[in-house]
Amino acid sequence: MAPILLHGSLHGCPAPAKLNLFLHVTGRRADGYHLLQSVFQLIDRGDVLDFDVRDDSLICRTSEVPGVPAEQDLIVRALRLLQAEHARRHRATPGIDVAIDKRLPMGGGLGGGSSDAATALMVANALWQSGLSKRELMALALPLGADIPFFIFGENAFAEGVGEELVAVATPECWYVVIEPGVSVPTAAIFSSRDLTRNTKPVRIADFSRHLSSRTDAKEFGHNDLQPVASRLFAPVAEALAWLGQYGDARMTGSGACVFCAFSSASEADAVLGNLPAIWTAWKAQSLPRHPLHMVLQVDGVIE
């Protein structure tokens, strides 16, 4: 369902999940941040947010999110950065109410919190008429997390650096089965592990693109360097990978915990879901070529 635009409001705004089709750790910077290569794939499942401009300058999250106080929520923190930039440019301090229907698991590697923050920035930029360009929004968001700029970028992307260097890339149309193993994997625990491989040989975007001529090869390109560490530390991740691996090239997304496998059709995905053990939550999702909000918002944040 498309977002509904009302005066000073935008309801039903999607914050889609992402999958890492592969994730290589190619090095480590002097400041401790890891150098990565990945392909980010948008899918048609995610959280949904409602926005209502306020008459005052308060930024209020009106929904409870278990385990995430509003002051720590990436949505609120991102909106405060935009609010400060808006005040600098326009000498006014707008406010907004944000309600969230949280559908993605936390600690799942699906980028849910980052996607929520990106959607909040894009929508508030439009409703407040702040006037930031897409690139300016991406730069504003980067200090909060390297995944947020990707969702603002709005296209499937080959990512490098700490995840902020993005180049649009074509990916195959397919369906994914995603399993939630029932654990939350803390990213810091994975990246701080002594067992983490940090010297994978870099690939080029052309290496990935060459595999797009074959759907099977495209699905099997690369690997996730974080997966062995997460599997050793969290048995449910390993168990979900082993079960889903019966049907194809099963992988973990991000630093976990969710695992996924690609299929050519919805019926193939449904057949796998029909055999799912009752201990897990799982669902199917279709690949997206672009962020759905880009059909509603122009890159400069103005409602079309």
Catalytic choice (47, 50, 147, 225): 147
Q: Which residue has the tokens 């499942």?
A: 45
What is the C-alpha separation between 176 and 182, in angstroms, rounded?
18
**CB half-sphere exposure, 278, CA atoms < 13 A:** 0
Tokens of 148: 């947020």
What is the number of alpha carbons within 13 Å of residue 210 lying toward its C-beta?
6
How far apart (Å, rounded) are the C-alpha atoms in residues 279 and 244?
13
Q: Is position 225 annotated as part of the catalytic site?
A: no
Using only the alpha carbons of the chain, give its radius of gyration. Answer: 19
- Alpha-carbon distance of 282 to 53, in angstroms, equals 36
Active site residue 31: no
Strand duo 34-54 + 95-101: pairing: antiparallel
Give the Cα separation of 247 and 272 in Å (integer). 8
Identify the CA nearest to 118 among candidates 46, 178, 225, 68.
46
Q: Is 178 exposed, middle or buried (0-12, 13-18, 19+ CB in 10 A)?
A: buried
**What are phi and psi for residue 19, nearest 5 degrees?**
-120, 145
* Residues with active-site annotation: 18, 147
